[in-house]
Amino acid sequence: MNLRFCSPGRILPFLFYFSLLYLLLWCWKPAKGQGFEHNKPLQIGDTIPDVTIRNILHYKNPTARLSDFKGKLLILDFWGTWCSPCVYMIPRMDSLQKQFDGIVQFLPVTVEPAVKVAAFRSKYAKRHGERIAFPEVVSDSVLSKLFFHNAIPHYVWIDQHGVVKAVTEMNQITAEKISTFLANNGVQLAEKKDQQPIPYDQKRPLLAGGNGGDGSNLIYHSVLTGYTSGLQGGMSWNIDPVTGRRITATNCSRFWLYRVAYAKPGGFLDEGSVVIESSNREKLTSTLYGQNFLDWLSGGNGFCYELIVPASFGEKTNQIMQKDLVNFFPEFSASMEDRKRQCLVMRSVDSLLTASNGGKSQITIDPFGWKAVNVTLAQLADRFNQTQNYALNLVDQSGYRGAVDLEIEGDINDLDGFNKQLASYGLIIQKQVIDRQVLVIRDRELTAK
């Protein structure tokens, strides 16, 4: 008999390697990228995966792992340079980082690129002084996926063991809350609950065929719904020679609907061009923010509206929307009227202003200054009114209709200093009471008297 596999001296090595091979096959799983590909974002109570973070500024290395911050309370601050509440929080974050240095680490995170953040930080430093250079993440593509949010600022509290303990709004970021958290190894904080997104394609008719359906034979369509949880709020306009003209508003207040309906097609009236003479102002607009504002919208004050008409309708599109508002909100009336209003009036004082050198049109207006490339002064005034929360409207009465280039550093709140720079272009801005067309919204019963 052949004894090659019967001898204990020969069979034992064979059994060992066979067993090892079986064990490796049993343990084997297909390789994945970084092991943080979750089916859903992390929740409170989850332990964070040890992912690699890239594009870190003001840190010993441009990359790090989340585990590098263990042993401290790590507070992720999801923010943006364009977000006013985020910018408001900067000095508070600096103060808290200094106060809790060594036991708390704030880590600002933004999807914006480094060059944009650097430009913002430079302007901020000129206005407010240098800030503490603690680590921050730019061009983020990892953390935003791990911690879902659809509104900023957004704060994630991770304890020294790498466990997600809280997700909050800005009002929870205080020295008292942090001290209590550290003393009790966690504390009950008011949770920020971002609404989970639902599928929606804004290129297709709202609700037609369940959005769903191609709407290819749709000729006219007007629809109004109440607030829809999970749908991001916003406005869009579209003009297509085939599908027609479309105005879409999602989860907007009555005030916003009026501002669109009575504006030039494709735009909206700035707040300074609207006068509310109604005893029901709280049904039109609100000064609330965050979850309180969402509660106000969902409590009967938020609407989704869409109007689609043939492309040939032109300005009739806005007139139809105005009639819809009469039908949908019969308690209010609205009309454009001449009123005397104090405004910022831009005038020409000499002939220094010259034609633009051309190029791609560009307008940048922020608290640090203005930059305009190949745009008219009327376009510059419109952009100011629509983007800046300034008490007075800017009105162009320069008489110059051509495109211009100009660059001003400074804040228009310091009007004298701002005008010193404008003077080099032959322009001046003055506060003056003038006749202006404004939208007046009233209670309908008052109109009938």
The 10s digit of each residue's pLDDT in 111-123 is 999 999 999 999 9
User: Is the domain of 279 the same as that of 382?
Assistant: no
User: Is the domain of 214 the same as that of 325?
Assistant: yes
> Over the Cα atoms of the chain, what is R_g?
29
Q: What is the pTM of this model?
A: 0.71
Cα–Cα–Cα angle for 122, 126, 131, rounded to 5 degrees: 70
Question: What parts of the chain have a pLDDT lower than 70?
Answer: 1-39, 209, 212-216, 446-449
**In terms of C-beta distances under 8 Å and separation of at least 24 residues, what long-range contacts does 285-294 make, across chains too?**
285/253, 285/254, 285/255, 286/253, 289/85, 290/151, 290/169, 290/170, 290/171, 290/192, 291/169, 291/192, 291/193, 294/195
Residue range 300-328, pLDDT digits in tens:
999 999 999 998 888 899 999 999 999 99
What single string gives the DSSP state of each residue in 154-208?
EEEEE-TTSBEEEEE-GGG-SHHHHHHHHHTTS---PPP-PPPP----TTS-TTG
User: Is the domain of 303 the same as that of 398?
Assistant: no
- Residue 358, SS3? coil
Residue 18 forms part of a structural domain: no
Q: For residue 367, is the peptide bond before it cis, meaning its omega torsion is within 30 degrees of 0?
A: no
Q: What is the pLDDT of residue 21?
A: 43
Q: What is the pLDDT of residue 186?
A: 73
Report the distance separating Cα 347 and Cα 429, nearest Å: 6
Residue 170 forms part of a structural domain: yes
Residue 127 forms part of a structural domain: yes
Q: How large a percentage of the chain has pLDDT more than 90?
A: 66
Domain encompassing residue 344: 339-436
Report the distance separating Cα 419 and Cα 174, nearest Å: 40
User: Is the domain of 325 the same as that of 243?
Assistant: yes
Residue 314 forms part of a structural domain: yes
Report the distance separating Cα 92 and Cα 85, nearest Å: 11
Which of 128, 149, 183 corresponds to the end of one domain? 183
User: Is the domain of 314 the same as that of 390?
Assistant: no
Number of structural domains the chain divides into = 3
Residue 32 forms part of a structural domain: no
Q: What is the pLDDT of residue 39?
A: 53
User: Is the domain of 270 the same as that of 347?
Assistant: no
Residue 197 forms part of a structural domain: no
Residue 212 forms part of a structural domain: yes
CATH no. for residue 92?
3.40.30.10
User: Is the domain of 344 the same as that of 319?
Assistant: no
Residue 350 forms part of a structural domain: yes
Report the distance separating Cα 77 and Cα 277, nearest Å: 40
User: Is the domain of 305 the same as that of 393?
Assistant: no
**In terms of C-beta distances under 8 Å and separation of at least 24 residues, what long-range contacts does 257-260 make, across chains too?**
257/303, 257/305, 257/321, 257/325, 258/284, 258/325, 258/332, 258/334, 258/439, 258/441, 259/439, 260/235, 260/318, 260/321
Q: What is the pLDDT of residue 24?
A: 41
User: Is the domain of 318 the same as that of 354?
Assistant: no
